[in-house]
């Protein structure tokens, strides 16, 4: 696991809590309107159906209640920027849990209602600094909520991809936090200052070892939009594919990020 940067970007806990609830609400509204035929459609996530993907959205918040019910850890074990690199190890376990819950759930809307109510209650009664266990070690509640913006936004994109014309919206604060965390993870994975990665309007990071740029226009620049970035960072889109589709602009001899992507998978 790459070491986390010493200085981590700060996030406004009030805005993150609102963003998590807002994005979950957007998904809930969309799932409520899906037909049985749409719920049975395949997704780009292996053998998951849309219905299983919809169930997985509830699990992104359900883990909060499950882990907060456990004893509070004595010390923090995982920093926010450790999280993107730890998720791959749990992919199989997450997939199995999703299929199991999907097989048990008869009423998706009731599941979403229960999860929305319980999450709002947890938010009201949990301090940002409260430590909670996770699959990867103890994290602060505030940090875990930032990771939920990644889960919700990335899987919202999966849902939109699976159902033509669905167009579930993205909460601005949720997408901003998701974009920034994945951009900062790239800077951790490839520390340096020779390449500037721009993801307007949410993030700019420098990465890749080499001569550090200090003035004027950087010689190595990569620029893309937030949705393309989250697809690149999570392996939904390949570097060459994004370049061919003109979704990424890359200039400079060091501006090829193909060997560094995906950041998390």
DSSP 235: T
The residue assigned the tokens 């965390």 is 181
What pTM value is reported for the model?
0.94
| Gap between the Cα atoms of 161 and 237, Å rounded | 12
Domain boundaries, the chain: 13-175, 190-260
Angle (nearest 5°) at CA 109 between 18 and 56: 70
Equal fold, 13-175 vs 190-260: no
According to DSSP, the residues that pair with 197 across neighbouring strands are 205, 222
Cβ pair 59, 135 in contact under 8 A: no
According to DSSP, the residues that pair with 205 across neighbouring strands are 197
* pLDDT by residue, tens only, the chain of 265 residues: 444 444 679 999 999 999 999 999 999 999 999 999 999 999 999 999 999 999 999 999 999 999 999 999 999 999 999 999 999 888 888 888 899 999 999 999 999 999 999 999 999 999 999 999 999 999 999 999 999 999 999 999 999 999 999 999 999 999 999 999 999 999 999 999 999 999 999 999 999 988 766 666 678 999 999 999 999 999 999 999 999 999 999 999 999 999 999 999 7
CATH T-level topology, domain 13-175: 1.20.120
Give 197-243 pLDDT, tens digit per residue. 999 999 999 999 887 666 666 789 999 999 999 999 999 999 999 99
Helix%, strand%, coil% for the chain, nearest 5: 55, 10, 35
Cβ pair 62, 115 in contact under 8 A: yes
CATH (one of 3.30.1050.40, 3.40.50.10860, 3.40.50.300, 3.40.50.2000) for 190-260: 3.30.1050.40
Give 33-44 pLDDT, tens digit per residue. 999 999 999 999
């Amino acid at each position: 696991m790459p070491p986390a940067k010493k200085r981590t970007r700060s996030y406004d806990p009030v805005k993150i809590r609102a963003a998590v609830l807002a994005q979950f609400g957007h998904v809930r509204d969309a799932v409520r309107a899906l037909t049985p035929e749409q719920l049975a459609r395949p997704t780009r996530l292996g053998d998951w159906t849309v219905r299983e993907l919809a169930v997985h959205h509830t699990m992104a918040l359900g883990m909060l209640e499950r882990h907060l019910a456990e004893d509070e850890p004595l010390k923090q074990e995982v920093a926010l920027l450790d999280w993107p690199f730890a998720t791959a190890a749990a992919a199989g376990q997450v997939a199995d849990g999703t299929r199991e819950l999907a097989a048990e759930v008869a009423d998706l809307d009731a599941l979403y209602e229960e999860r929305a109510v319980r999450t709002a209650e947890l938010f009201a009664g949990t301090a940002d600094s409260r430590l909670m266990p996770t699959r990867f070690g103890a994290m602060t509640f505030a940090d875990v909520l930032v990771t939920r913006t990644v889960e919700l936004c990335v899987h919202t994109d999966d849902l939109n991809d699976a159902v033509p014309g669905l167009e579930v919206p993205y909460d601005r604060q949720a997408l901003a936090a998701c974009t920034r965390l994945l951009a900062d993870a790239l800077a951790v994975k490839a520390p340096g200052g020779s390449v500037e990665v721009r993801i307007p309007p949410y993030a700019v990071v420098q990465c890749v070892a080499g001569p550090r740029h200090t003035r004027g226009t950087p010689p190595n620049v990569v620029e893309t939009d937030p949705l393309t970035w989250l697809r690149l960072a999570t392996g939904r889109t390949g570097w060459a594919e994004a370049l061919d589709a003109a979704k990424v602009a890359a200039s400079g001899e060091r501006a090829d990020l193909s060997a560094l992507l995906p950041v998390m998978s």
